[in-house]
Amino acid sequence: MNIPDKIIECNLESLEGYNFPVNKPFNLVVYADDIKYEFLVNLKDTSDKLLILAPGSIPNKHDRTKPYYERYNWYFEESTIFINDPTTYINNEITTGWGLGTIDNWYLETIAEIISKISRNLYKYDVNNQYGNIMFYGSLSGGYMAIMLSILVKNSISIAEVPQLEIFRSYPKPLIKHVFKNMSLKQIHDNYEYRISIIELIKKEKYIPRSVVLLDYTFDLDLNKEYFSFFQKLCELPYIKKDDKNNINVRIIGRNKGHETLKPWQLRDVISNVNKIIDTSFYDVSTIHKNKIIEQEKKIKEYEEKLKNEINQISINNKEIAQYQNELKYHLEKIHDNDKLLEDYKIDYLSEEDQIQANDKKIADYQVELDKLNRKIIEEDTQFKEYKQESTNKYNELKEKLIIRNKVTLEYYKLKGSLKKKLILWIPYVYILLKTRPFNETFINIRLYRALQDSEWFDVGFYLVVYHELSRKKWCKFLTPETHYVCYGFNEKKLPHEDYTCVDSKKELLRLLKK
């Protein structure tokens, strides 16, 4: 995953209930007590697990003005949140922050609160088992942060790879100097012991986290100096056996690798196996999935409403067709009656006078119908003549425009094909280099100019005729109309051909020309 451009900023209070994007990675910045907490977030609607990755030591080559997200380019199936430790911003001598913060502000505690709020936005939990789908992961100092966070966020699980269990096992001068303001180790232990030791935070919270600790038994220094002592102290706690769920599981392997961490596929395998022991009843329903279902149901209702309207329209059309059929039947019957009446006029017993009168009446009726028909013919003839004249005018106008455009195009390509023109083909490129502002668009302008030269998409005659204010001497003899369009015409929304549909950027136009 690459670092996205999208940034969402909010304070700690407004984080509750925030509607975060799904399936679109983003940077999250949360402000709390004038401290800037930064996270890289990728929420997925295909997973109900939330994996939080804590950072270790910052590499020397990293830009210290930017957040450091360890393993951000690794792929995970779960929704992920990568943590940046703001402790490292206190001074550049601090390369490992441990989430310590300052004397008055323990950053790791605020990070735990932010993670809890985000998780409550995404998932509807069972009251008795909150945060059961959250997993914290880290290695070495990041493993320390992962276990500490799983203590602060109760019922979550942590995966710690060769974690350091105490910060001051050695003598970290930068932390003592810049975080604790040159306090003595005794003062630090007396006042902040729960911040620098996992076992002391367990005692303070009276809670043993659900953790999976991965160790390499071939690294004797860690086992003998730190881990055996830690587990001995853990077993002495009075509440160690009160809750079978609160256990630290240790996986000891022999790789002769020391502090070397797992490969991506190995880590994904560990996370997958940890998922198998997580009860799926930690929350009633995923808000992400719920929102997706609501959206799908909304679309289904829209389709159903549209289908209902179409069915109603079909019903109306059928009624109209039935009405037309009834009218047609009526007219046919009337015609039949008229025919029958006409036959009756031919009966022999009618007198000649009666026959003449009948014929005169019939002729009069026919004359009325004929007059109506003549008037209709005259009206339609007038409309036809108007339409014909209008079509002739449009045809002549289009013909005149086309002749002018073809003439301009022919003159341009005659000039373009001359020997002199071929000798100065480099002038448009120089002009583009000189006129493009900002300068970083020069390359795309040159690519666009080449694409226009190789394509029939740009209508030279249309462009010169419509924008007749262009100096033909300049743009046809020494430069090209394509040069004017690349440098000025595109930004001025000028039309390169008659049926052009505007695009938003030159990059999009390049993709269009390549097709």
DSSP 165-210: SBGGGS--HHHHHHTSTT--HHHHHHHHHHHHBHHHHHHHHT---E
Average pLDDT over residues 12-40: 93
The region of weakest confidence among 273-287, 311-325, 494-508 is 273-287
Residue at which a domain ends, from 390, 410, 430: 410
Please check whether residue 214 lies inside any domain of the structure: yes
The predicted model scores a pTM of 0.55
Tell me the per-residue pLDDT of 168-219, one tens digit each, with 9 for 90 and over: 776 678 999 999 999 998 999 899 999 999 999 999 998 888 888 887 655 5
Q: What percent of the chain has pLDDT over 70?
A: 81
Number of residues assigned to the chain: 515
**CATH number of the domain within which 17 lies:** 3.40.50.1820
* Count of CB atoms situated within 10 Å of the CB of 159: 28
**Distance of alpha carbon 503 from alpha carbon 506, whole angstroms:** 8
| CA 160 to mean position of chain CA atoms | 33
Better pLDDT: 246 or 42: 42
Average pLDDT over residues 363-376: 85
**Distance of alpha carbon 378 from alpha carbon 294, whole angstroms:** 63
**Distance of alpha carbon 123 from alpha carbon 515, whole angstroms:** 45
Average pLDDT over residues 233-254: 64
Quote the pLDDT of residue 221.
Answer: 54
Residue 52, CA distances (Å) to 76, 135, 160 in order: 11, 6, 12
**Distance of alpha carbon 22 from alpha carbon 15, whole angstroms:** 16
Q: What is the pairing mode between strands 123-125 and 79-83?
A: unpaired
Quote the pLDDT of residue 292.
Answer: 62
**Distance of alpha carbon 219 from alpha carbon 236, whole angstroms:** 25
Structural contact between residues 102 and 94, judged by C-beta atoms closer than 8 angstroms: no
- The reply to whether 424 and 369 lie within a common domain is no
Q: Which 8-state DSSP code applies to residue 478?
A: I
Least Cα distance to 452 among 432, 423, 466 occurs for 432
- The reply to whether 105 and 132 lie within a common domain is yes
Better pLDDT: 51 or 353: 51
* Residue 231 pLDDT exceeds 80: no
- The reply to whether 248 and 355 lie within a common domain is no
Residue 372, CA distances (Å) to 220, 359, 368, 464 in order: 115, 20, 6, 54
Quote the pLDDT of residue 467.
Answer: 85
Better pLDDT: 301 or 384: 301
Please check whether residue 303 lies inside any domain of the structure: no
Q: Confidence band (pLDDT; 50, 70, 90) for 220?
A: low
* Residue 84 pLDDT exceeds 90: yes
- The reply to whether 100 and 224 lie within a common domain is yes
Least Cα distance to 166 among 199, 136, 133, 134 occurs for 199
Q: Confidence band (pLDDT; 50, 70, 90) for 282?
A: very low
Q: Say how many domains are in the chain.
A: 3
Please check whether residue 473 lies inside any domain of the structure: yes
- The reply to whether 54 and 134 lie within a common domain is yes
- Domain range for 181 is 7-278
**Distance of alpha carbon 500 from alpha carbon 513, whole angstroms:** 13
Q: Confidence band (pLDDT; 50, 70, 90) for 109?
A: very high
Please check whether residue 50 lies inside any domain of the structure: yes
**Distance of alpha carbon 424 from alpha carbon 373, whole angstroms:** 72
Residue at which a domain ends, from 245, 278, 311: 278
Residue at which a domain ends, from 239, 259, 278: 278
- The reply to whether 497 and 392 lie within a common domain is no
Q: Confidence band (pLDDT; 50, 70, 90) for 464?
A: confident
Q: Confidence band (pLDDT; 50, 70, 90) for 257?
A: low
Burial 23-39, CB ≥16 within 10 A → b, else e: eebbbbebebeebebbb
* Residue 3 pLDDT exceeds 70: yes
- The reply to whether 146 and 182 lie within a common domain is yes
Q: Which 8-state DSSP code applies to residue 416?
A: H
- The reply to whether 78 and 170 lie within a common domain is yes
Structural contact between residues 208 and 202, judged by C-beta atoms closer than 8 angstroms: yes
Terminal-residue alpha carbon distance, the chain: 29
- The reply to whether 373 and 421 lie within a common domain is no
Please check whether residue 2 lies inside any domain of the structure: no
The token pair at 433 is 């280099």
Tell me the per-residue pLDDT of 377-434, one tens digit each, with 9 for 90 and over: 888 778 877 877 777 777 677 767 777 766 666 666 666 655 445 556 778 888 888 8
Q: Confidence band (pLDDT; 50, 70, 90) for 94?
A: very high
- The reply to whether 429 and 460 lie within a common domain is yes
Residue 212, CA distances (Å) to 77, 137, 207 in order: 19, 10, 15
CB-side neighbour CA atoms (13 Å) of 383:
6
Please check whether residue 224 lies inside any domain of the structure: yes
Please check whether residue 292 lies inside any domain of the structure: no
In 185-286, alpha helices (H):
185-196, 198-205, 220-222, 228-235, 264-276
The 3-class SS string of 306-356 reads HHHHHHHHHHHHHHHHHHHHHHHHHHHHHHHHHHHHHHHCCCCCCCHHHHH
- The reply to whether 272 and 241 lie within a common domain is yes
- The reply to whether 423 and 381 lie within a common domain is no
